């Protein structure tokens, strides 16, 4: 379905405004993200990073705005969109197994009445294998570590075989091994022509992970190719005084990366 043609626009947002208790959380967002990139959404706490993703997916009501996925309205394109929510958004004491959670990713495709069968379980098992969790398939989700839970959520989105993936802080609170495993999977998806849109909080790794960036603080501070956006002026504009420390060590920051 998707082509990795870079001139194709995977996600297009026009004039998106979201408010909470009469305070604007996102203001007049205009944005185009090309297909086949790994895009990072970066900004300080309270900048509206998660809200942006949630309002795109219709989980948070927006005052205005239009969201197009591969040139068509999002509501008609749900099957081409995968979502990895924050790990803390669910109760992990729910009585079910890792495999069952991954199978939930196929519920949309199954429609209203059809039940998941052998074929669906097989697909879910394959997705678990992709994230290195095949041995944990029958494990209770309450017994998984934080990193393993994150991988299960990633597998649930993988099984959807979407073209555009939204990930909300997938690297939050996971160890270095899991972070590397997750980034490897995301890169493989990008190389297969998928578009990944990732909320990220760690400025240290931004340059190595992403080839496209959105710098957000209620408004769009800058967006575009990572090397053009990740500049000290833009960062200072987005983070205000909080970025002062980086000023002297700009070069140090660029070289400090966990993953090559």
Partner 1 sequence: MVWLELLSDYTFQNVVIGASLLGLISGPLGCFAVLRRQSLLGDAISHAALPGICLSFIITGSRDIGGIIMGSLITGSAAALIMLMLTRLSRLKTDAALGACLSIFFAVGIVLLTYIQSTNNASQGGLEAFLFGQAAATLRSDLWVMGSITLVTLLLLAVFWKQAKLVTFDAEYARTLGMPITVIEASLTAMVALAVVVGLQMVGVILMAAMIVAPAAAARQWSRHLGGMLTIAAGVGIVSGVSGATISTLSRGLATGPLIVLTATAIVLISLALAPGRGLLWGVIKHYRQKSALQKQQLLYALYKHSADPSCAPSTLGSRRMLNKLKQQGYLTRSPRGATPSDDGWGLTAQGQAEARRVIAAFEELAS
Please state the φ and ψ torsions of residue 121, each to the nearest 5 degrees.
Answer: -65, -35
Judged by CB, which is closer to partner 1: 115, or 260? 115
Residue 47 DSSP class: S
Helix axes 118-130, 146-158, angle to 10 degrees: 130
Alpha helices in the chain (DSSP H): 49-56, 98-103, 107-110, 118-130, 146-158, 176-191, 203-209, 226-229, 232-239, 244-248, 250-255
Q: Cα separation of 126 and 157, whole Å? A: 12
Closer residue to partner 1 (CB): 110 or 232? 110
Nearer to partner 1, 93 or 248 (CB): 93
| CB 92 to partner 1: min, Å | 10
Task: Output the smallest distance, CB 135 to partner 1, in A.
Answer: 17
Phi–psi pair at 144, nearest 5 degrees = -85, 150
Instruction: Tell me the closest approach of the beta carbon of residue 170 to partner 1, in angstroms.
Output: 14
Q: Which residues bind partner 1 (CB under 8 A)?
A: 54, 57-59, 78, 81, 83, 85, 89-91, 94-97, 100-101, 104, 107-108, 110, 112-113, 115-116, 140, 156
Shortest separation between residue 46's beta carbon and partner 1, angstroms? 20
CB closer to partner 1 out of 84 and 218: 84
- Please report how close the Cβ of residue 95 comes to partner 1 at its closest, in angstroms: 5
Measured N-to-C along each axis, helices 146-158 and 176-191 cross at an angle, to the nearest 10 degrees, of 10
- Residue 60 or 130: the one with the smaller Cβ distance to partner 1 is 60
- Could you count the other beta carbons within 10 Å of the beta carbon of residue 187? 15
């Amino acid at each position: 379905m998707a082509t990795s043609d870079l001139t194709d626009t995977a996600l297009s947002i026009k004039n998106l405004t979201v408010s909470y208790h009469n305070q604007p959380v996102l203001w007049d967002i205009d944005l185009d993200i090309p297909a086949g990139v790994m895009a990072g959404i970066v900004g300080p706490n309270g900048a509206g990073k998660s809200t942006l993703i949630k309002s795109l997916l219709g989980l948070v009501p927006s005052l205005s705005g239009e969201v197009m996925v591969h040139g068509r309205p999002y509501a008609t394109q749900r099957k081409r969109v995968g979502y990895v929510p924050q790990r803390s958004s669910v109760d992990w004491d729910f009585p079910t197994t890792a495999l069952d959670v991954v199978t939930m990713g196929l519920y949309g495709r199954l429609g209203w009445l059809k039940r998941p069968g052998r074929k669906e379980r097989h697909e879910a098992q394959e997705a678990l294998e992709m994230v290195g969790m095949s041995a944990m398939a029958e494990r209770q989700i309450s017994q998984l570590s934080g990193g393993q839970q994150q991988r299960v959520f990633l597998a649930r989105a993988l099984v959807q075989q979407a073209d555009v993936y939204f990930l909300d802080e997938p690297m939050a609170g996971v160890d270095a091994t899991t972070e590397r495993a997750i980034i490897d999977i995301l890169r493989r998806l990008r190389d297969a022509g998928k578009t990944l849109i990732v909320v990220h909080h760690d400025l240290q790794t931004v340059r190595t992970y992403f080839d496209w960036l959105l710098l957000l603080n209620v408004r769009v501070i800058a967006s575009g190719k990572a090397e053009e956006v990740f500049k000290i002026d833009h960062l200072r504009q987005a983070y205000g005084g909080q970025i002062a420390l980086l000023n002297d060590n700009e070069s140090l920051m660029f070289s400090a990366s966990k993953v090559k």
